[in-house]
Amino acid sequence: MKFEEAKSKFIQTWGALGSQWGINKTMAQIHALLMVSPDALSMEDIMEQLQISRGNTSMNLRALMDWGIVYKEYKPGERKEFFAAEGNIDELARKIARERSRREIKPTLRVLKDVSSIDKSTSSEAAHFKAKTEELYDFVSRADNMLEKITEQKENWITKTILKLMR
């Protein structure tokens, strides 16, 4: 495979993967492009390489920066802003894990705690509901803890975790 073909295939795949995970395609594609670019790119560069509009580029770059996985860079003598992706993959994964925990898991836990607090003595259906949602709360909160544990070590957490799990 040639470089250009490989690059385009990678960007397409990353974009498709994004969609399956509730991240919009363009956002994932911009991220993919920045990841494999040795140097920071300008908005113009991104628009041209992905063939997308200025507005689209601007909005998705902002979203990527909100996630903390893309940074602005300034080049001396240049008026334009340039953009680069988080270069360290461990760090990238940690940031994504943290954001998803904050945005999705934590709010879900709050709701689970809330709904599982009903009085179980009103009906057997209510008792079952209470038991199930408590079980779910327990599970999700353990999983969230685990995620925190795994990602809190800064370097090479995947390797370290696997070593622990192999014992």
Partner DNA sequence: TTAAACTTTCAAAACATTTTGAAAGTTAGA
Partner DNA sequence: TCTAACTTTCAAAATGTTTTGAAAGTTTAA
Task: Return residues touching its own copies (CB under 8 A).
Answer: 1-3, 6-7, 9-10, 13, 17, 19-22, 35-38, 89-90, 93, 103-104, 108, 111-112, 114-119, 122-126, 128-129, 132-133, 135-136, 139, 142-143, 145-146, 149-150, 158-159, 161-162, 164-167
* Site for DNA contains 53 (CB under 7 A): yes
Using the minimum distance from each CB to DNA, give the nearer residue, 62 or 142. Answer: 62
Distance of CA 55 to the CA centre of its chain: 22
The site partner of 161 among its own copies, DNA, none (C-beta below 5 to 8 Å per kind) is its own copies
Alpha carbon distances (Å) from 62 to 52, 118, 146, 150: 15, 41, 30, 28
Using the contact rule CB under 7 A, the part of the chain among 72-80, 94-102, 103-111, 117-125 near DNA is 72-80
Distance CA 22, CA 33 (A): 19
**Measured between alpha carbons, how far is residue 72 from residues 129, 144, 152 in Å?**
48, 31, 25
